[in-house]
Amino acid sequence: MKGLIDTVQALHNSNFPRSQLYQIRSLLERGKRTAILNYRYFRVKLKQKEQQILEEHFEKAWCEAKTNNGNIAPWMFIEPHPKTNKSEDSSVYETIWRDLVDIYPFFEPDTAKVAAEIPTQEISQ
């Protein structure tokens, strides 16, 4: 639960557009590739620091790929149950994106944490 809450907080702190949260949620139904493409597109439009927040608190935490040490945000690979018929395609992916969008309105940006993460430059007089 803490990880889910931390991820929602990261979405707020990264200033990920709320409208895009909902759009990606609706695109999940169109398939894995469509959702991945749209998530990546909207993430790359964020500032570098905001992209890093999402990478650390969402992608690395939830979205590891089965192979190549990459990630497939907003999807994650789930190992199938051992009793699954091995002759079938055993690639199972799921996402917590819908859950994140559902609980998103109940949180606010942690402005103190965001301010602490933004590097400051001292000005000499």
What is the pLDDT at residue 88? 52
- Asked whether residue 9 is domain-assigned, the answer is yes
pLDDT for 72 equals 87
pLDDT at 79: 74
Instruction: Give the per-residue pLDDT at 83.
Output: 64
User: Is the residue at 69 inside a domain?
Assistant: yes
> For 68-123, how does the pLDDT look when each residue is reduced to its tens digit (9 = 90+)?
777 788 988 887 766 655 545 556 788 899 999 999 999 887 754 544 444 444 54
Answer whether residue 125 is part of any domain.
no
Domain that holds residue 52: 2-112
119 lies in some domain? no
CA neighbor of 23 nearest in space, from 44, 43, 38: 38
Q: Is residue 98 part of a domain?
A: yes
Length of the chain: 125
The confidence score (pLDDT) of residue 81 equals 63
Asked whether residue 58 is domain-assigned, the answer is yes
- Whether 35 is in a domain gets the answer yes
The pTM assigned to this predicted structure is 0.71
61 within domain boundaries: yes
Q: Give the number of domains in the chain.
A: 1
Q: What does the pLDDT average to over 3-8?
A: 90
CA atoms within 13 A on the CB side of 98: 6
3-state helix, strand, coil in the chain (%, to 5): 55, 10, 35
Q: Give the pLDDT confidence of 20-58 residue by residue, as tens digits.
A: 889 999 998 888 889 999 999 999 999 999 999 989 999
